[in-house]
């Protein structure tokens, strides 16, 4: 923990950490030592981790990378934070991200961008950019992130590490600063599938303080141990299969994930990964997810709509930034919000408010919900008839340069095309490193593995065979 703390403080110019507090970290490390001495060790006891700065933490500030919350400290810990602390994991700090988790490059942080350790001129991806960069740079072995439309999978892919977003409802959202509540899920970032399993299984479980938390997953109690058991069952089956461990596994490959827009280097790395899985005994099935492109407009209506509602709490009274100078009360709220929120957050609030307006609601919000249902049905049909898991790219290209697309804020939105559908459907999905691309072949590419509901253990076991 001491070494990780020093590395976090040094940062290596990455700007991955927003807050580091040696006293808090060393107190947690002492508690972990005590657990070890008492024979109460959990696999994560003493393991240095760090949290994305959207998980509220007692002690450390929580800013959501926003000026709005620049001086905010929560009186309690998020459920994810307390579960990992109870297991003895030692937090070395809070990680940079896009403001309120809105973005795909970590460029929307009020505290400056995080840099990609593979090439510091490039973005680490977003919004959990600090979470992926800190693991890729070897500062900590594991971090937490959140994924509303791809924010764990996409930065993991662009930084050459692994990340998983579980089924919606399996990890508590209590204490996770809300963006799009029907989409937000926490997920870990680490190097290997087995590390993700330890973290995710520990983080998961029913929580009565989150109204969308699930008590049961397919009849099994939503509690730590569920994913671990499923992983073990699959791993045992793979072992029993001998030379062709993945014999019988049907991998669905959606045609729509390989069309225009996918760069050749990424396509080649994905193809090689699929061939590797075939060599392990799996069969490849071509499938269709015909509404893939529609996931972009559907998501960028629904997520901003929910964001506009969630962010109405930042009114300059109850939380966060308050303008120094103002006229009446309404003026105070509007000045506080104009000063506290960055441009992307303001854009989302305006889009969200618009699509929820009386007169536009049916045309935009309701229509987007219908598309969401169709996208969900497409996945369900594929899993019912054709395949056990789905694989494809996470991103259309490798990490872009910091500052690219600055004049066109919606260009980044289009790059979310392979991750949004999963989020709209609430399915579990992960990213594992599968090769390199870019002009010199030195930038990481991620393979996306999508499972049916509650099949986190299965996709992690499949990922584990690749690594
Ligand atoms: N890039 C997407 C967005 O900007 C997803 C972000 C996320 O998953 N938090 O909304």
**Does residue 150 line the site of ligand 1, with CB under 6 A?**
yes
Distance CA 157, CA 455 (A): 21
Cα(378)–Cα(283) distance, integer angstroms: 21
**Given this model, what pLDDT does residue 318 score?**
86
Using left for φ > 0, alpha for ψ between -120 and 50, and beta otherwise, residue 137 falls in: alpha
| 104 C-beta closer than 6 A to ligand 1 | yes
With a 6 A CB cut-off, is 123 part of the ligand 1 pocket?
Answer: no
Separation of CA 104 and ligand 1 centre (Å): 6
Instruction: Supply the residue whose CA is at minimum distance from atom 10 of ligand 1.
Output: 102
Tell me what ipTM this predicted complex has: 0.98
Neighbours of 408 (CB within 10 A): 10
Residue range 2-227, CATH number = 3.90.1300.10
Mean pLDDT value across residues 123-130: 97
Tokens of 420: 């949004």
Contact present, 432 and 458 (Cβ < 8 Å): no
> Residue 409 pLDDT more than 90?
no
Where in the chain are the domains? 2-227
Q: Which residue is it, tokens 């709220």?
A: 333
Q: What is the pLDDT of residue 410?
A: 83
Q: Cα(399) to centroid of ligand 1, in Å?
A: 16
In whole angstroms, give the CA distance from residue 346 to residue 360.
19
The whole-angstrom distance between residue 169's C-alpha and the CA centroid of its chain comes to 14
Residues 179-208 as b/e (b if ≥16 CB within 10 A, e otherwise) read: bbbbbbbbbbbbbbbbbbbbbbbbbbbbbe
Among 52-56, 215-219, 316-320, the least confident range: 316-320
pLDDT for residue 87:
98
Average pLDDT on 79-91 reads 98
Q: Does 151 sit in the ligand 1 pocket, CB within 6 Å? A: yes
Q: List the catalytic residues.
A: 52, 127, 151
Which whole number is the average pLDDT over 130-150?
98
| Average of per-residue pLDDT across 208-220 | 97
* pLDDT value at 216 more than 90: yes
**158 Cα–ligand 1 center, Å:** 15
Confidence of residue 11 (pLDDT cuts 50, 70, 90): confident
Distance 327 CA to ligand 1 centre (A): 35
Numbers of helices and strands, H then E, in the chain: 15, 13
438: alpha, beta or left? (left if phi > 0; alpha if psi -120 to 50): left
pLDDT at 206: 98
Say yes or no: CB of residue 101 within 6 Å of ligand 1. Answer: yes
Task: Kindly report the backbone phi and psi dihedral angles of residue 67, in degrees, each rounded to the nearest multiple of 5, phi listed first.
Answer: -60, -30
Joined together, the tokens standing for residue 93 give: 């700090």
Ligand 1 within 6 A of 217 CB? no
E strand or H helix at 221: strand 220-221
Confidence of residue 12 (pLDDT cuts 50, 70, 90): confident
Is 2 a residue whose pLDDT tops 90? no
Give the number of the atom of ligand 1 that is nearest the alpha carbon of residue 148: 8
């Amino acid at each position: 923990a001491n070494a990780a703390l020093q590395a976090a403080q040094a940062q290596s110019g990455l700007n991955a950490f927003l807050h580091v507090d040696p006293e808090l970290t060393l107190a947690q490390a002492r508690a972990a030592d005590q657990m070890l001495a008492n024979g109460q060790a959990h696999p994560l006891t003493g393991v240095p981790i760090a949290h994305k700065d959207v998980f509220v933490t007692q002690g450390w500030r929580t800013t959501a990378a926003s000026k709005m919350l620049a001086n905010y400290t929560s009186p309690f810990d998020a459920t994810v934070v307390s579960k990992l602390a109870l297991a003895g994991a030692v937090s070395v700090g809070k990680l940079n991200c896009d403001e309120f988790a809105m973005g795909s490059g970590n460029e929307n942080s009020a505290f400056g961008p995080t840099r990609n350790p593979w090439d510091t001129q490039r973005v680490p991806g977003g919004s959990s950019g600090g979470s992926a960069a800190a693991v890729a740079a070897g500062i900590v072995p594991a971090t937490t992130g959140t994924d509303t439309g791809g924010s764990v999978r996409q930065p993991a892919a662009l930084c050459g590490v692994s990340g998983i977003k579980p089924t919606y409802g399996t990890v508590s959202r209590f204490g996770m600063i809300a963006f799009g509540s029907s989409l937000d899920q926490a997920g870990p970032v680490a190097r290997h599938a087995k590390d993700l399993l330890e973290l995710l299984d520990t983080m998961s479980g029913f929580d009565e303080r989150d109204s969308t938390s699930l008590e049961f997953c397919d009849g099994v109690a939503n509690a730590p141990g569920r994913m671990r058991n499923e992983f073990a069952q699959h791993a045992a089956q793979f072992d029993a299969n001998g030379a062709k461990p993945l014999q019988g596994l049907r991998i669905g490959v959606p045609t729509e994930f390989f069309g225009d827009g996918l760069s050749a280097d990424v396509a080649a790395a994905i193809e090689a990964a699929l061939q590797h899985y075939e060599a392990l005994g799996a069969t490849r099935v071509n499938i269709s997810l015909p509404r893939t492109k529609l996931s972009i407009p559907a998501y960028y209506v629904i997520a901003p709509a929910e964001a506009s509602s969630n962010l109405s709490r930042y009114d300059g009274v109850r939380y966060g930034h308050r303008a120094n100078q103002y006229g009446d009360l309404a003026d105070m709220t509007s000045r506080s919000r104009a000063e506290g929120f960055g441009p992307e957050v303001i854009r989302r609030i305006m889009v969200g408010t618009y699509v929820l307006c009386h007169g536009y609601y049916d045309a935009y919000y309701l229509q987007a919900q219908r598309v969401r249902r169709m996208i969900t049905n497409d996945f369900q049909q594929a899993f019912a008839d054709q395949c056990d898991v789905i694989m494809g790219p996470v991103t259309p290209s490798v990490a872009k340069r910091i500052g690219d697309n600055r004049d066109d804020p919606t260009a980044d939105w289009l790059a979310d095309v392979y991750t949004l559908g999963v989020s709209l459907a609430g399915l579990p999905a992960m990213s594992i490193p599968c090769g390199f691309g870019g002009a010199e072949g030195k930038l990481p590419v991620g393979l996306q593995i999508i499972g049916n509901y509650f099949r986190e253990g299965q996709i992690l076991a499949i990922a584990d065979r690749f690594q």
